[in-house]
Amino acid sequence: MSATDIHAEATKITDAKQRYKAGVLKYRQMGYWQPDYVPRDTDVLCLFRITPQEGVDPVEAAAAVAGESSTATWTVVWTDRLTACDSYRAKAYRVEPVPGTAGQYFAWVAYDLILFEEGSIANMTASLIGNVFSFKPLKAARLEDIRIPVAYVKTFKGPPTGLIVERERLDKFGRPLLGATTKPKLGLSGRNYGRVVYEGLKGGLDFMKDDENINSQPFMHWRDRFLYVMDAVNKASAATGEVKGSYLNVTAATMEDMYERAEFAKELGSVIVMIDLVIGYTAIQSMSNWARKNDMILHLHRAGHGTYTRQKNHGVSFRVIAKWMRLAGVDHIHAGTAVGKLEGDPLTVQGYYNVCRESYNPVDLPRGIFFEQDWADLKKVMPVASGGIHAGQMHQLIDLFGDDVVLQFGGGTIGHPAGIQAGAVANRVALEAMVKARNEGRDIRQEGPEILKRAAQFCTPLKQALDTWGEITFNYAPTDTSDFATTPSVA
Amino acid sequence: MITNPTGRITQGQFSFLPDLTDDEITAQIEYGLRKGYAWSVEYTDDPHPRNTYWDMFGMPMFDLRDAAGVMQELRECRKTFQGHYIRMVAFDSTRGIESITMSFIVNRPPTEPGFGLERQEAEGRTLRYTVKSYATDRPENERYS
Amino acid sequence: MSTPRYSIPGSAPSVPPRDPEGPGAAIAQAPDAMERARSVAAVLAESQVEQVLADLDRDLVGLAPVKQRIRDIAALLVIDKLRMNLGLQAETPSMHMSFTGNPGTGKTTVALRMAEILHRLGYVRKGHLVAVTRDDLVGQYIGHTAPKTKEVLKKAMGGVLFIDEAYYLYRPENERDYGQEAIEILLQVMENQRDDLVVILAGYKDRMETFFRSNPGLSSRIAHHLDFPDYSVDELQQIAERMLAQRHYRFGAGAREIFHQYLERRIQQPHFANARSVRNALDRARLRQASRLFAERDRELGRDDLTTLLPADLLASRVFAEGSAGEATP
């Protein structure tokens, strides 16, 4: 089917008697397909990638997505006529085949602002990804991108701290922050755990981090962990003269438990607490409120996102999750490494970073950004690059992501042959040497390995790190890349 | 004596590298000027990690085109406060940033005694921590001589 | 201490191998093409300075002696560059200049081009021009002048500091004048920071000469004196035509000759300021043209009407009034 075939006429039934006769109508006849609709500045806009079942017309499928994510039910209901139902209907206004992928279509849908409760991610997602993803006429559906109108953005409080204020609190400027996840993930006692934290921070890292599944297990009760970790943090701060932190994971079974843990972290003087994405949107917004009230940086680990963000044909793109999390209000979010062990095409990952850090996102198809997004001065989220990265990739990381990012070298710190402090030194020296060289005007993408080699001449720990991991890369084809056709420019 | 691997206070962008030469400092200042930042020279003899307000050696320098003017201020600051910590700080006034964007130490006292950690036992096994500079037992301007 | 130790007791070796070239080597760059140049052609090709000289010739009316001096200076700079490249000359030559001449003779315009020439040949790093007068340098009370002067100097570094009517810095009638302080700071920088900026002092020729006589320290640091002659009537006419063309105006039938007559009379009168007076005269003529057209409410005005200055627009000037003696302004 060609694009022209798809752009079918509006087939909305305008005669009220016909429209509300009991029975089943096509979604497009009910008014969910409006090809001449011009989206309003206050509309929420969504781009879905849909895979209709065999024989289902893509326009009808798009109209169904609009219907099922807004007011429609499977049959005509007369009670619609008690409402200004035209406002409540989402409108599919454009359908195009996905370039180079047979059977898949991009469907653009506009939602009136009245459909959503102010400041509620739970409410927004209940509509947009509520029923529609299980809808039978579709084999698969994916929410690729979303435009949140400024009017709606302003109802969210956003990050409690934001990356600018975070830097001011930490007194760290002009370079990426350095972190590491304490390893092994599971099994360390509180006392042993604090040792790893102390070594990493004293060696030169800015942050250490609990892993997503470190909560309060038999081998280490949460209070024990917090006490030992904070001793390590303060000792390291005195040893270096720097502000240090460790993300204390307060994820727990109930909000009451999480508040209790967060309060204790605050009492001990931690600058940051951490939550996992799996606690849910409402819990995230509650913790964001708590963090704002208590001057705490809120770190979000995106645990679980891979179940619905990774496959291209079904689920929710991570750029949409990133937008929701910026609205919901987190200060850190894991957003991929592009060069590490976890999934991520470099351009697509840069798209996630831009969503977190820019005041305004222009349309940027190669990076998967389909809509303009004005963030209305909402604070910026610090993206975190974590998973299988090491000092030998420093030039690539800084070239891809710039300064506003936390680079987390877990194994790349703790696995250093000369110990954790040496691992931290290697990472910090590589980082500072690379930032310095970039500022001096060097082309770090090309000269990066040479710059690292030179730095290693005066820093043995870095030399050891490069000798150990220098050659390690994770080159697999990414599963989630941007699909777009380059249209010849008019000019 | 500071026992971290560098043997010194590690605040700022480049504390893990050998001290920057004047040419290297100039290159960093030029980078900031190209980005439209305003540079400032700040000094202190109390480098506590939470001592936010180091003293300003003159006001931030706006509308400069070349690093020479900034270097001149740095030279004068070094002459006046030889035994102090001195750092270069860059400000970006872009809407949505409006904060410091670069900061690095360019002068240190000959010896850096560092900090001690005082612990006060509180209820439970909770501890209250105070980071204390060994140098600040002495009055201002006599701390590193 | 200049180098972190990276020593971790009990683990890594405590004496790391030293960087053979020292820490500063990181930014030591290969000599650029300009430093490798061994012929005049190579310096010219690398600096593209001839383009600036050609533009200067084309864009500025008259000023033949000034243009010649600039060519001479450019030649000297090119040769000095070659001498420095071969190590025959270590120090940057003094480049400070004085531009003397009456108002409106193109001193600021030429200073801008000079900044560009110095930049292209590598004598200043950025090539911008900071133009100031006494008020920008000298303060009102004790302790005010030094920071003010230093601030201006910092902004000018990397480029050219142009001080117009420089003699106002020196007021011998008041021995506690703060201008002296500004001159002293200026002198220091002119002597010690030749690499960082070039100073151009400008003003009337006679007053500059007096100024230099009373401030021999300044005078001796000026490498090049350029004198800007007044424009001839023909040159002023040419300048006027260029100004009009830039703003989409032109002289109508007979107006060109009237303007020539206007200039002949005007240069005899006091307060004549060369190109600046031409600009003012044209501005007043535009006003009169506008009033003339405004009066004809119902007439359809075409391109010609809107762009043409008629003799009447010029003849109304007081310069043409019988027995006029004073300043011609409106």
Residues in chain A: 491
Which is it for strands C224-228 and C129-132: parallel, antiparallel or unpaired?
A: unpaired
The answer on pLDDT for C330 being more than 60 is no
The residue type of A91 is K
Measured in angstroms, the CA of A263 and the nearest CA of chain B are apart by: 13
Predicted pLDDT of residue A9: 56
Higher pLDDT: A296 or C21? It is A296
Is residue A343 within 8 Å of A353, Cβ to Cβ?
no
| Candidates B17, B21, B74, B104, partner chain C, best to mutate (most C CBs within 10 A) | B21
The answer on pLDDT for A80 being more than 90 is no
Q: Kindly report, residue by residue over A311-324, the tens digit of the pLDDT.
A: 999 999 999 999 99
Predicted pLDDT of residue A31: 87
Q: Kindly report, residue by residue over A46-55, the tens digit of the pLDDT.
A: 999 999 999 9
Q: Which residues of A touch C16 (CB under 8 A)?
A: 458-460
Residue identified by tokens 């036992």 is: B121
**Token representation of residue B93:** 């006034």
Across the interface, of A241, A359, A433, the residue whose CB is closest to B11 is A241
**Secondary structure (H, E, C), A348-368:** HHHHHHHHHHCCEECCEHHHC
Predicted pLDDT of residue A491: 38
- Stretch among A42-51, A229-238, C30-39, C177-186 having the lowest mean pLDDT: C30-39
Predicted pLDDT of residue C26: 52
Q: What is the DSSP letter of A217?
A: B
Is residue B42 within 8 Å of B60, Cβ to Cβ?
no
**Token representation of residue A150:** 């400024």
Q: Kindly report, residue by residue over C200-243, the tens digit of the pLDDT.
A: 999 999 999 999 999 998 999 999 999 999 999 999 999 999 99
Q: What is the mean pLDDT of residues A34-52?
A: 96
Q: Kindly determine whether residue B116 and residue A238, on different chains, have CB atoms separated by under 8 Å.
A: yes
The answer on pLDDT for C327 being more than 60 is no
Catalytic amino acids of A?
183, 301
Q: pLDDT class for C9, splitting at 50, 70, 90? A: confident
Q: Which residues of A touch C8 (CB under 8 A)?
A: 203, 418-419, 421-422, 425, 461
Q: Which residues of A touch C3 (CB under 8 A)?
A: 458
Which is it for strands A105-111 and A91-97: parallel, antiparallel or unpaired?
A: antiparallel
- Stretch among A107-116, A315-324, B94-103, C24-33 having the lowest mean pLDDT: C24-33
Q: Kindly determine whether residue B13 and residue A171, on different chains, have CB atoms separated by under 8 Å.
A: no
> Of the candidates A400, A465, B107, which has an alpha carbon nearest to the alpha carbon of residue C1?
B107
Measured in angstroms, the CA of A203 and the nearest CA of chain B are apart by: 6
The answer on pLDDT for C66 being more than 90 is yes
Q: What is the mean pLDDT of residues C88-112?
A: 91
Which 410-469 residues of chain A touch chain C by CB within 8 A?
Answer: 418-419, 421-422, 425, 429, 433, 436-437, 440, 454, 457-461, 464
Across the interface, of C4, C126, C195, the residue whose CB is closest to B8 is C4
The answer on pLDDT for A277 being more than 70 is yes
Across the interface, of A429, A458, A461, the residue whose CB is closest to C12 is A461
Predicted pLDDT of residue C14: 45
pTM of the model: 0.88
Q: pLDDT class for C23, splitting at 50, 70, 90? A: very low
Calculate ∠ Cα A292-A295-A296, nearest 5°. Answer: 90
Q: What is the mean pLDDT of residues A61-81?
A: 86
Assess B110–A contact: CB distance below 8 Å, yes or no.
Answer: no
ipTM of the complex: 0.96
Across the interface, of C6, C20, C27, the residue whose CB is closest to A460 is C6
For chain B, what is the largest distance between any 2 Cα atoms, rounded to a whole number of angstroms? 58
Q: pLDDT class for A2, splitting at 50, 70, 90? A: very low
Cβ neighbours of C84 (radius 10 Å): 16
Give the residue numbers in C contacting B (CB under 8 Å), as ranges: 1-8, 19, 23-24, 26-27, 125-126, 128, 147, 150-151, 153-155, 157-159, 193, 195-197
**Token representation of residue B60:** 């931030």
Q: Kindly determine whether residue A454 and residue C26, on different chains, have CB atoms separated by under 8 Å.
A: yes
Residues in chain B: 145
How many Cβ pairs within 8 Å bridge chains A and B? 130
**Token representation of residue A170:** 């930490």
Q: Kindly report, residue by residue over A185-209, the tens digit of the pLDDT.
A: 899 999 999 999 999 999 999 999 9
Rounded Cα–Cα distance for residues A49 and A97 (Å): 9
Across the interface, of C6, C11, C20, the residue whose CB is closest to A459 is C6
Across the interface, of B17, B103, B127, the residue whose CB is closest to A436 is B17
The answer on pLDDT for A489 being more than 50 is no
Q: Kindly report, residue by residue over C279-318, the tens digit of the pLDDT.
A: 999 999 999 999 999 998 899 999 999 999 999 999 988 8
Q: Which residues of C touch B31 (CB under 8 A)?
A: none
Rounded Cα–Cα distance for residues A484 and A99 (Å): 6
Residue A137 burial by CB count (10 A; 0-12/13-18/19+): exposed, middle or buried?
Answer: middle
Q: Which residues of B touch A437 (CB under 8 A)?
A: none
Q: pLDDT class for A91, splitting at 50, 70, 90? A: very high
Predicted pLDDT of residue C224: 94
Predicted pLDDT of residue A290: 98
The residue type of B91 is F
The answer on pLDDT for C185 being more than 70 is yes
Calculate ∠ Cα B60-B66-B72, nearest 5°. Answer: 60
Which chain A residue has its CA at the smallest distance from C23's CA?
A: A458
Assess B35–A contact: CB distance below 8 Å, yes or no.
Answer: no
Q: Kindly report, residue by residue over A394-451, the tens digit of the pLDDT.
A: 999 999 999 999 999 988 899 999 999 999 999 999 999 999 999 999 999 999 999 9
> Of the candidates C240, C242, C232, which has an alpha carbon nearest to the alpha carbon of residue C313?
C240
**Token representation of residue C159:** 């480029």
Q: Which residues of A touch C7 (CB under 8 A)?
A: none
Percent of chain A residues topping a pLDDT of 70: 94
Q: What is the mean pLDDT of residues C72-76?
A: 92
Tell which phi-psi region holds residue C254, choosing left (phi > 0), alpha (psi between -120 and 50) or beta: left
SS3 C260: helix
Q: pLDDT class for A476, splitting at 50, 70, 90? A: low
Is residue B117 within 8 Å of B53, Cβ to Cβ?
no
Q: Kindly report, residue by residue over B30-86, the tens digit of the pLDDT.
A: 999 999 999 999 999 999 999 999 999 999 999 999 999 999 999 999 999 999 999
Q: Which chains touch A (3 or more CB pairs under 8 A)?
A: B, C
Write the DSSP assignment of A2-15 as a string of letters: -HHHHSPPP-----
Write the DSSP assignment of A163-205 as a string of letters: HHHHHHHHT--SS-EEEEE-SSSS---HHHHHHHHHHHHHHT-
Rounded (10°) angle between helices C49-59 and C107-120: 170
